[in-house]
Amino acid sequence: MGNKIIVPFGSQHVALPEPVSFLFETQNEVITDVTVNIGYVHRGIEKAAITRFEYTQLPYLVARVCGLCSITHAGAYTHGIEKLLGIETNKKIDYLRMLVVELDRIHSHMLANGHVAEVVGYENLFMQTFRYREDVMDILERITGNRVQYDYQIIGGVARDFDKETEDFAREKLLTLKANTEKLIEFFENDYTFALKTKGVGTISKEMAEKFNAAGPIARASGLETDARAEYDYLPFEEVGYKLQTRTEGDVWARNMVRFDEIMNSIEMCLNILDGIPEGEHRVKVKGRPDGETFVRVEAPRGECFYYLKGNKTKVLERVRIRVPTYANIPVLKELFVGEKYSDAQAIVLSFDPCMSCTAR
Amino acid sequence: MIQMFIESLKNLVSKPETIKYPFAPSPEPKGYRGTILYNEELCIFCDKCENICPPGAIKFEVVDIESGKKQYNYNPYLCIYCGACVDACPKAEEGCLTQAEVRTPVMGESVIKDPKLGYFINEIDNPKEVEKKWRELEIRAAKSREELAEYKKAKRAAAKAAKAKASE
Amino acid sequence: MTINPEITFFEATIDNVVDLIKAWYDEKKYHYVTVNATDNGGNVTIDWIFSKYYDKNKLVVFRAENVAYDAKIPSIVSVVPSAWIAEWELADLFGLDVENAAKGVFIEPDAPQAPLRKGEANG
């Protein structure tokens, strides 16, 4: 019979990069109950979007909900508003938007894998991953002007045009990145000590993923085939070589491998897009006011992101509802902790790739 | 094992990946989004840049009610450098509102001074007063616009009354 | 391309929505997205939103209209176990009375309560 101790994996912790707080009830180092507390960074963005800003200024506000997936929030909002205003975009705009969305996915997945390596104890691998990630940031800085907040998708098109010099620069860096990523995959897949800490830890079976409606790479690592790029037609992904990647084991190691598979697929897609950008204008004319309601689902690097917009012919919208993928994965996380050892808690939380500024917006 | 020794020797003689900023310069890349510069002679005072700015960093203030003359005020420490004002300006290609490719220096001990940045920032010297004076400017600019609108309405009503009287 | 989802609407009221969803929901075919509330001045409209696996561009919405501010809203946790987090958020931000909701998770006790309501004044 052991003692019951309550241990906080709190909002301030050495291994935790996000402001979330868990209270574990443990008995002999095995967790028996969890209390979750989110909401440390609530800024009231949904309320500000319907009182203080007009609908033309909202792509800039909504992009600042999160730092890593900022292009998906701006993209989802512009897709919704273009439906309400009745604007049709041409093929060149779609290809340029797809290019920046896929580059954003590459850099976000490399950051997530680097952090898992860091908390497991392998700090050298974390440094190498971040060094190779700098190539992607250089390409993004040349295309959009900034490393993190792109401000690239606006209502009616994209902000800047794309010329030949940028295309040659991007292609050269992408080929270097491909060779470097293959070196990294060899480490993550075959290393003996890394496998001891990540294989068999935090397993989610396929039935559990279906019962709790998980989203994103977490569901795909357990064998559930769900992806908003395949289920919802918002950009022409099939034309440039998109494939859905799954694995069946469902533990921390499998989630890392799914992210690497997606990185290799995204590099292929970016090279195909660079070979086939059509001619045309990079912006379309915008007029009118939004009226009606619409539902949008896009694929962020962490899962499926959902937007609901409602307008009534004035300059200020009536309702903006945002549901982010980490929000949908927190119930799964709460169920998963029961029965695991306390020392594995860091690897499990970081393999879920949490983004708390999206969750408590 | 041998692989490990070869890698270590290679790392001993190669260059580091990082730049030793601020002792070495860190240049901005091509196409960087920097400070917004304004040219007063080409401006037609259409107010499109003020209406689109998301944080409200551009404010026009009416200084002379009779002639309707406006002055451009810009706060580079509130701006988010998105470039929406440059897109919205109808005279941007002739050079009225442009975005430079250098970054604004950090506020630190002194406030930035440049004739192309408008009236507000060239009149302040103390970095601790920037926020307070900007709040006062916002209130003053909103009030001056109301006074201009009322003046125009009164002038229109007086002109209509005079025309109705002259046609009797 | 512009988006064009095919949406199927089902009319429901607060009393029968749990039975309707229980009769219709199948774990292997449908995917729960979220619960949403919109404020129309004096009353609230609540949507329960689902989508289908393996099928393109389809959404299913259960809509309950004209819900008063102090009505008791049932919880669908017995059918969909991961729905508790969206319902707690509605209880916090709109001030609604949802079954088994814990208040104070998103907003601190000394902040303005029920900020997303437009009807009466908040304290």
Strands C97-98 and C72-73: parallel
What number of C-beta contacts closer than 8 Å exist between A and C? 95
Do residues B87 and A151 touch, judged by C-beta distance below 8 A? no
Residue A154: its chain B contacts at CB < 8 A?
A: 84, 87
Q: Tell how far CA A38 is from the center of its chain.
A: 19
Cβ-Cβ contacts under 8 Å for A32 (sequence gap 6 or more):
A4, A25, A26, A338
User: Considering the domain boundaries, does residue B141 fall inside one?
Assistant: yes
By Cβ distance, the residue of A57, A143, A145 closest to B52 is A57
Closest by Cα among A219, A227, A199, A198 to A331: A219
| Residues of chain B predicted below pLDDT 70 | 168
- Which pLDDT value is given to residue B10? 87
Q: Which tokens hold the place of A206?
A: 């396929």
**Crossing angle (nearest 10°) for helices A164-190 and A91-120:** 30
- Which pLDDT value is given to residue A175? 93
β-partners of residue C39 are: C44
- Rounded alpha-carbon distances, angstroms, from residue A61 to A45, B53, B101: 8, 11, 24
Nearest CA in chain B to A128: B17
- Rounded alpha-carbon distances, angstroms, from residue A288 to A81, A282, A313, B47: 11, 20, 9, 19
The torsion angles phi and psi of A216, rounded to 5 degrees, stand at 90, -160
Q: What domains lie within chain A, and their CATH numbers?
A: 4-359 (1.10.645.10)
Angle at C13 between CA C7 and CA C14, to 5 degrees: 120
Range of the domain at B99: 27-155
Whether residue C103 is predicted with pLDDT greater than 80 in this model: the reply is no
Closest by Cα among A154, A65, A283 to B52: A154
Annotated binding site of A for Ni(2+): 66, 69, 355
For domain C6-98, which CATH number applies: 3.30.460.80, 3.30.2290.10, 3.30.230.10, 3.40.50.20?
3.30.460.80
Query: What's the CA gap between A257 and C75, in Å, rounded?
Result: 37
Count of domains in chain B? 1
Neighbours of C120 (CB within 10 A): 10
Do residues C108 and C122 touch, judged by C-beta distance below 8 A? no
**Crossing angle (nearest 10°) for helices A164-190 and A252-275:** 160
Total-model pTM: 0.90
Predicted ipTM > 0.90: no
Nearest CA in chain B to A55: B52
β-partners of residue B72 are: B60
- Which pLDDT value is given to residue C46? 87
- Which pLDDT value is given to residue C123? 34
Q: How far is A263 from chain B (nearest CA, A)?
A: 23
Q: Tell how far CA A27 is from the center of its chain.
A: 35
Query: What's the CA gap between A109 and A256, in Å, rounded?
Result: 9
User: Considering the domain boundaries, does residue B19 fall inside one?
Assistant: no
Neighbouring subunits of A (3+ Cβ pairs under 8 A): B, C
Strands C58-67 and C6-11: parallel
User: Considering the domain boundaries, does residue B6 fall inside one?
Assistant: no
Do residues A353 and A112 touch, judged by C-beta distance below 8 A? yes
- Which pLDDT value is given to residue C121? 41
Judged by DSSP in three states, A136 sits in helix
- Which pLDDT value is given to residue A2? 64
Contact A233 C34 (CB under 8 A): no
CATH number assigned to the domain comprising residue B86:
3.30.70
- Which pLDDT value is given to residue A1? 56
Judged by DSSP in three states, C40 sits in coil
Amino acid symbol at A85: L
Q: How far is B16 from chain A (nearest CA, A)?
A: 11
Residue in the structure block whose two tokens are 């769900």: A226
| Long-range Cβ contact pairs of B68-74 (< 8 A, separation 24 or more) | B68/B148, B70/B45, B71/B118, B71/B119, B72/B38, B72/B40, B72/B43, B72/B118, B72/B119, B73/B118, B73/B119, B73/B120, B73/B137, B73/B141, B74/B36, B74/B38, B74/B117, B74/B118, B74/B120, B74/B121
For C18-77, write each residue's pLDDT tens digit. 888 888 888 788 888 888 888 887 788 888 888 888 878 888 888 888 888 888 888 888
Q: Which tokens hold the place of C85?
A: 């987090």
Residues 316..345 of A with a Cβ closer than 8 Å to C: which? Answer: 318-319, 321, 323, 327-328, 330-332
The DSSP symbol for A311 reads: E
Contact A306 C2 (CB under 8 A): no
| Residues of chain A predicted below pLDDT 70 | 1-2
User: Considering the domain boundaries, does residue B146 fall inside one?
Assistant: yes
Residue in the structure block whose two tokens are 């290679």: B10
Nearest CA in chain B to A63: B82
Q: Which tokens hold the place of B37?
A: 């510069």
